Amino acid sequence: MSDTKQIGRKKRVYHLNTPFSVISWPHISVDHQDSVLELLCNLLSPLKQYREAYINSSKGKRAAKKHAQPPKPIPSESALVPPKPELDAKIDVGFNSITRTLREMTQPCNQVEAEKRIYSMIFVARGDQSPAFNCHFPKMIAAASKHLPAEQEIRLVGFSKPCSERLSSCLGVPRVSSVAVARDAPGAEALWTLVREVVAPVTSSWLEDIRSSDFQRTKIGFSDTVAGSKRTRTK
């Protein structure tokens, strides 16, 4: 008994391409990244000053129990903590909160427009992250911007150089991976002007096709290949 190897035969393989193609990040030069980062840090610095002056950073429950102190007397009205800066309510920090708001922006409008938070800019520290943590941002921003006027489309800025530590320092929080600025954020006019000039809106060809009423035929591709060879036994 011996094995003989059959010669591979040709066959045609059919495949369907996905219509949801990859959406690229908007290009921004390194020099413009530095300028945008500088203006962003200047905008966020008052939040750090407020946290350092009036908010005690948490050291954990165990440390709090170890150094427990008797209750302090109620402060007088003159010593009460002032309200947070207005900017604090117009800034979102972190993956979860920004993703949640973008998801809400893509939903049909079922409430008063003034009650909805609408972003104007989103900044992501790409140099400090794996692409798996931020690859969804271009798609979600393209979907969230499709109902906005052209001059108000959300701008996505990806910092290619590591800058998470600097953003953390400007905000006075341990870690910062992404920052979103609302459209009506006070003091953000200069930053918005620069970002709108140097960063193009996120574009998505397949989202544009959805708006069209033209019928799109199914496109089936194929390729000729060689079937794998197999051994047959002969007596």
The amino acid sitting at 49 is Q
As a whole-number percent, the residues of the chain with pLDDT over 90 amount to 45
Q: Residues near 139 by Cβ (< 8 Å), separated by ≥ 6?
A: 20, 23, 204
Residue 180 in tokens: 């979103």
Lowest mean pLDDT among 75-79, 121-125, 192-196: 75-79
15 occurs within a structural domain:
no
Higher pLDDT, 220 or 49: 49
160 occurs within a structural domain:
yes
CATH of the domain at 45: 3.30.1330.30
Higher pLDDT, 76 or 86: 86
On the question of pLDDT at 108 being above 80, the answer is: no
Residue 186's domain comprises: 23-52+86-203
The amino acid sitting at 181 is V
Question: What are the pLDDT digits (tens) for 12-52?
Answer: 887 776 656 678 899 999 999 999 999 999 999 999 998 88
225 occurs within a structural domain:
no
69 occurs within a structural domain:
no
- Total domains, the chain: 1
Q: What is the 3-state secondary structure (H, E, C) of 25-44?
A: CCCCCHHHHHHHHHHHHHHH
79 occurs within a structural domain:
no
CA distance 141 to 144: 5
48 occurs within a structural domain:
yes
13 occurs within a structural domain:
no
222 occurs within a structural domain:
no
